[in-house]
Structure 1
Amino acid sequence: MIKFAIVGMGHIAKKHVEAINEADGAELVAVCDAAAERLEEYSAKYETYTDLDEMLRTNQDIQVVNICVPSGLHARLTKIVAEHRRHIVVEKPMSLKLEDSEEMIRIARENNVKLAVVHPNRFRPAIMKLREKMDQGVFGTMSHANATVRWNRGQAYYDQAPWRGTKEFDGGVLMNQAIHNLDLMLWFMGEVESVQAMAATRLRKIEAEDVAAAVVRFKSGALGVIEAATTIYPKNLEESLSIFGEKASVKIGGSNALFIETWDMEDGVEGEKESFNESIKDNPLGKPGHQWIIEDMVQAVQENREPIVSGQDGMAPVKLILAILESAETGKEVKLA
């Protein structure tokens, strides 16, 4: 059994607790949070700590640490964990600054530890089916892609904690909500060459953006359109990913990008879309994505290989988002080195 610990016992940590407990080959042995009151509900089952460095010094059984603190603290805690020679699973976004992402990758490599980033939407059944078709080359030459997140996050959501919606610790709709969708777009379409964008803070009383739109050019020559908002009234309307090529058109949509809405392929099978959607209607999420990430880290440690969603993978959407924000601020096209 690979022994895990979690640092940062806020809302997202509950998914990590459940995922570790359900994952094959994983065991949760300790939790850590600077706020002692957050540890009370876990004290009967796990060792509890209020200091990360102390936890890693005193508990030598821990092999992997899941970092679930506010995003602006990811780089600092990654450095601490890596220097204690423990493997790392870090929540999205990997960081809020490109130089922090690069430093996280470097420090993990130097200390010979594995670094995985939580992008669980890659493991949804509809997404995996699309990935299978993409790997078979059925799309031919790619035309363009569309990534859309039209969600509602009211003011009460941002008022839950003082760090929410800040540029230093949280980010806006791109870093916090749309980053999973952008990770998928990059996973299917490859690296971005340039971006032209606009962003605004229209309805929420926050420092970061609550709505953004961008057009990107991929290194392949294909184009992409991005729309992201937390201003949709009165509830989540849509999360979708559309991919278009010379021989295929696919849209995965719904309020959370779970179901195939368009599935047209030159050599497609009649009724394939309907059959697939029927097969997942009772459980469109499949095995929870966090559990996939945990089980993959277990195997990566045992097999001494890179995690499926590596630090480099985690850095890619951060790089794109920062370019979008730079373009929105300057009004100019931004080229990604």
Structure 2
Amino acid sequence: MKKLNFGIIGCGRIAHKHAEAIKKNEKANLLCVCDILEERAAEYKDKYGAEAHFTDYRKMLEYSGLDVVNICTPSGMHAEMGIAAAQAGKHVIVEKPMALSLKDADDLIGACDESGVKLAVCFQNRFNPPVQKLRRALEEGRFGKLTHASAIVRWFRPQDYYDQAPWRGTRAMDGGCLMNQSIHNIDLLQWMMGPVESVFGYTATNLRKIECEDVGVAVLKFKNGALGVIEASTTIYPENLEETLNIFGEKGTVVLGGIAVNKIETWKFADSTDENGAIDQHQQDVPNVYGFGHDALVEDFIQAVTNDSKPYIDGWEGRKALEIVKAIYFSVTSNKQMLFS
């Protein structure tokens, strides 16, 4: 089987997870990398054994043999680069959020459809074993009627994190703790609970000197009648505390926790009283908040390209969490409840 040739655009904070996932996969080859800083691009090329490096992503898109582009740049650049890659005939894996506006997200989806290339969004926590187990329980109807849920991200990002680059914490390129950090958990919340009917939110910039929020909260009503709560922050002293997903129903309660929703903390269902063994085999130890989901995401994408099937988290799936965050922001600026169609 011919290996798929990957290229990474943006060699910053998250790029190493993509590079490592590509290098681990026997069906993939890291062909080239790109970063506006020549030194960093060259360092990535040497570290991960790529064939070439670039400082202009459009030049990289012209490189012979390139099949897939992984976009790991600041969020405000995702749509533009993804559209250019699609128009060049390259398949696209884009880090979260896929864009900073719904129009840009739709334009990216449309460009990939028009060019006949695959698009996947990096919500890698969907692949976590505890998350997969929870999803199966929902699909099997074990919760009965869902009553409410919460997605909580209590993390720490010091001021020097934002000061590393001028784009961090800006509306044009980054977003705040809801758009950047909490969007992973918001994705899981809506994936488990279903479509949203309405949302009302508050945000604040309490501690960090940034344009966007460092604390955000929201209440949601889902179309199935269940209620939801979102809490996000990058102000927790003195370090990351938790990323927790709580799902409650008439016949079941599940709490996923750990630093990357990688642990089952509570698992109770009316149809079973002893699942300790099953729970233990789904626990996952991870070294950081990124977890191991990029490995599974890259493998799934290779299968989608090879078999001409839909990626597990395609553009339309990736758009859903973005729509919720944008609705929260609208609610904050208008001081009104945001209704979904």
Superposed CA offset, 1:219-257 (max 9, x none): 111111111111111111121001111111111123332
Are 2:53 and 1:51 aligned?
no
Superposition pairs for residues 113-262 of structure 1, below 5 Å? Answer: 113-262=117-266
Task: Give, as a single letter, the amino acid of the residue that structure 2 aligns with 1:315.
Answer: R
Partners of 1:156 and 1:52 in 2: how far apart? Answer: 28
Aligned partner of 1:107: which letter?
Answer: A
1:332 offset after TM fit, Å? 0.8
Deviation at 1:280, TM superposition (A): 5.3
Distance 1:283 1:238 in 2: 14
Structure 1 match to 2:66: 62
C-alpha contact 1:125 1:284 (8 A) present in aligned 2: no
- 1:105 maps to 2:147: no
Give, in whole Å, the separation in 2 of the partners of 1:16 and 1:92: 13
Structure 2 unpaired stretches of 5+? none
Q: CA deviation at 1:175?
A: 0.8
4+ long deviations beyond 6 Å: none
The residue matched to 2:179 in structure 1 has which SS? helix
Describe how 1:303-322 pairs up with structure 2 within 5 A. Answer: 303-322=307-326
What is the count of residue pairs matched by the alignment?
334
**Shift of residue 10 of structure 1?**
1.0
| Residues 129 and 283 in structure 2, CA contact (< 8 A), matched pair in contact too | no
Q: Is the 8 A contact 2:242 2:259 kept in 1?
A: yes
Alignment of 1:15-94 (within 5 A): 15-44=17-46, 45-46=49-50, 47-57=52-62, 59-94=63-98
Cα–Cα, structure 1 residues 110 and 281, in superposed 2: closer, same or farther, change >3 Å?
Answer: closer
Shift in Å, 1:162: 0.7
Aligned-partner SS, 1:72:
helix
Percent of aligned pairs sharing the same letter: 47
CA contact (8 A) 1:259 1:284 kept: no
RMSD of the TM alignment (CA)?
1.6
Gaps of 5+ in 1: none
* 8 Å Cα contact 2:125/2:260 also seen in 1: no
1:15 to 1:231, Cα distance in 2 relative to 1, 3 A: same
- Aligned counterparts of 1:325 and 1:31: Cα–Cα separation in 2: 34
Counterpart check, 1:5 vs 2:10? no
* One-letter code aligned to 2:22: I
